[in-house]
Amino acid sequence: MPLLNVLLFARARELAEASSTTLTLPDDPPASVADARAELLTRFPQLSGVLQTSIFALNKTYVKRDDERVAIVRAGDELAVVPPISGG
Amino acid sequence: MSRASTWTPALEIERDARAVERYARHLVLPRGAALQRALCAARVLVVGCGGLGCPVATYLSANGVGTIALCDADDVELSNLHRQVGHATSKVGTSKSASLRERCLGLNDGIEIIEHRLFVNQMNANEMVDGFDLVCDCSDNPRTRYVLSDACARRGVPLVSAACVGFEGQLTVLCGTRCWDDERREFGAFTPAPCYRCLFPTPPAAGDAGTCGASGVLGVLPGIVGTFQALEAIKVLSGIGETLRGKMVYFDSLSASPTMTLNMREERDPRCACCSVEKFDQKTYDYDAFLSSTPCPIKFVKTTSINGVDLSAPPAHGPGESLDEELQKHSAWKRLSTGDFQSRSSSTGALIVDVRSKRLFDAAHLRGSVNIPIEMLDEGEWRSVVAEADANVDTVLFVCAGGNNSQRASAWFANSSLRGFRDVFDMRGGLAAWRRDVDPSFPKLG
Ligand SMILES: [Zn+2]
């Protein structure tokens, strides 16, 4: 069961009231970033809006929305959830 | 007695000892003369003269960027000064772009500063960015960010985009790059890069946008991120070092390792609605529809649509009267002027409910008002906040910062089972209008 470290930023951090969290995901078949997204939403339903607009970066590399199903998550990986911010 | 020059300068821009002396610490750097020639030749547009615009414009001025255009239609406000260090206290109430221009020319009188006392919008964006070698996005709202990026992507102008809110900031290079060719003494060819839409194809929902007015910002943060942004502009223009093209720096003030660099996409998104379509007509593009395409995650809004009026839609242009007309047709509640609100609120049985965030409420609120932040508003929350006083309340008065969320709250309440026989009102223009009409000492918090 891979443990995925999730880093939450900006509005996601505010709504989840946490700057990081750990997700346990199945390894057979191996979990993808799309599974992590779904699990995150189950854990934090209040993130429904902000997850739609956020960048997902797996081990500091951007995952294209189309690639979320094929981007496999391994134990110890780190997923950053980066919402757009607008202030200046 | 005429004095012939006895020396050859590194800079051709100005046969002036002052320029060589002013930039002396640049000129002795490795590749410093080429760097300085790039900066002196560069034309940079700075959009927004606030927290980011101040450090960007002051550093680029001091560093000798030849022409800088400053763009902002706002006036300096007292609540800006804790972070917008380009503006003096004496400038409160005067134009931001003029104030910052004066500050920049004070730092360097050998450059040109153009002042645009206006906001970038979809009608003027193309003309605004044309002719610049680089644009710095120092704006404070999603609409301007998309409009500016769309224009830069289409017109082929590099965009250094920074943003910050709360304790966090982000910085990246978008749309493309074009750097100085010192042999030819001109800026070289444009190489496209992803635009803001390629990274963020889905706009934030209203309330999730992360703006400083609503969420606050640590004063020093835009100073750091904006200075970082100026550095990035210098790197892109001069071609020194490694830029943030295809990368994003995320800055987390509260962390002991505050910067994180993310690898972003390198290529434009082939499905991007702006940079990958053959025709994109910015002037007719429906930004309102695009920016309201992400539903508002506010709890009560999910079920609240009154006769086809979608309450989750964000107001078209900030605080205003956008929802007013359609909702009023159904007269589920009444809107009051500030004066009428004041007299209604003084009667016994009147309850003022302030739907701003708790932090704004705690900063200053109307005497006797209670706070239920709009995203918390539901029947359970109402009962727990209003508690035993509830039975004696015959008049409910909603108030917010600018008069939009108070309408949403009124619409929700007037259609909920809590209403009973109560009169429901909200205050037109919110606390901004209260400050204007009733009590000028009420602090401006936005
Ligand atoms: Zn694009």
Chain B's closest residue to A49, CA to CA, is B297
Q: Where are the domains of chain A?
A: 10-78
The chain-wide mean pLDDT, for chain B, equals 89
Query: In angstroms, how far is CA B15 from the centroid of its own chain?
Result: 40
Active site residue B104: no
Chain B residues within an 8 Å CB radius of A87: 51, 140, 163-165, 210-213, 215, 217, 222
Q: To the nearest whole percent, how much of chain B has pLDDT over 90?
A: 70
A28 at interface of B, judged by CB pairs closer than 8 A: no
Residue B2, burial from CB neighbour count under 10 angstroms (0-12, 13-18, 19+) = exposed
B200 at interface of A, judged by CB pairs closer than 8 A: yes
Q: How sure is the predictor about A26, in pLDDT bands with cuts at 50, 70 and 90?
A: confident
Average pLDDT over residues A58-68: 94
In the predicted model, is pLDDT for residue B418 greater than 90?
no
Q: How sure is the predictor about B327, in pLDDT bands with cuts at 50, 70 and 90?
A: low
Active site residue B400: yes
| Surrounding residues of ion ligand 1, Cβ less than 5 A | B 195, 197-198, 272, 275
A49 at interface of B, judged by CB pairs closer than 8 A: yes
pTM score, two decimals? 0.84
B166 at interface of A, judged by CB pairs closer than 8 A: yes
In terms of phi and psi (left: phi > 0; alpha: psi -120 to 50; beta: otherwise), the region of B414 is alpha
Do the Cβ atoms of A85 and B169 come within 8 Å?
Answer: yes
Ligand 1 centroid – CA B166 distance (Å): 27
Nearest Cβ partner of A10 from B50, B168, B264? Answer: B168
Q: How is residue B160 written in tokens?
A: 């250094």
Residue B80, burial from CB neighbour count under 10 angstroms (0-12, 13-18, 19+) = buried
Report the C-alpha gap between B154 and B281 in whole angstroms.
10
Residue B238, burial from CB neighbour count under 10 angstroms (0-12, 13-18, 19+) = buried
* Phi, psi dihedrals of residue B45, rounded to the nearest 5°: -100, 125
Residue B383, burial from CB neighbour count under 10 angstroms (0-12, 13-18, 19+) = exposed
B399-411 per-position pLDDT tens digit: 999 998 898 899 8
Average pLDDT over residues B215-239: 96
Chain A's closest residue to B49, CA to CA, is A88
Query: For residue B445, which of B187, B211, B98, B201 has the smallest C-alpha distance?
Result: B211
Evaluate whether B42 touches B66 at the Cβ level (below 8 Å).
yes
Amino acid letter, residue B345: S
What is the reported pLDDT for B108?
Answer: 95
Domains, chain B, ordered by start? 42-291 (3.40.50.720), 299-437 (3.40.250.10)
Q: How sure is the predictor about B320, in pLDDT bands with cuts at 50, 70 and 90?
A: very low
Report the C-alpha gap between B82 and B68 in whole angstroms.
24
A84 preceded by a cis bond (ω within 30 of 0) = no
Write down the CATH number for the domain with range A10-78. Answer: 3.10.20
DSSP three-state, residue B273: coil
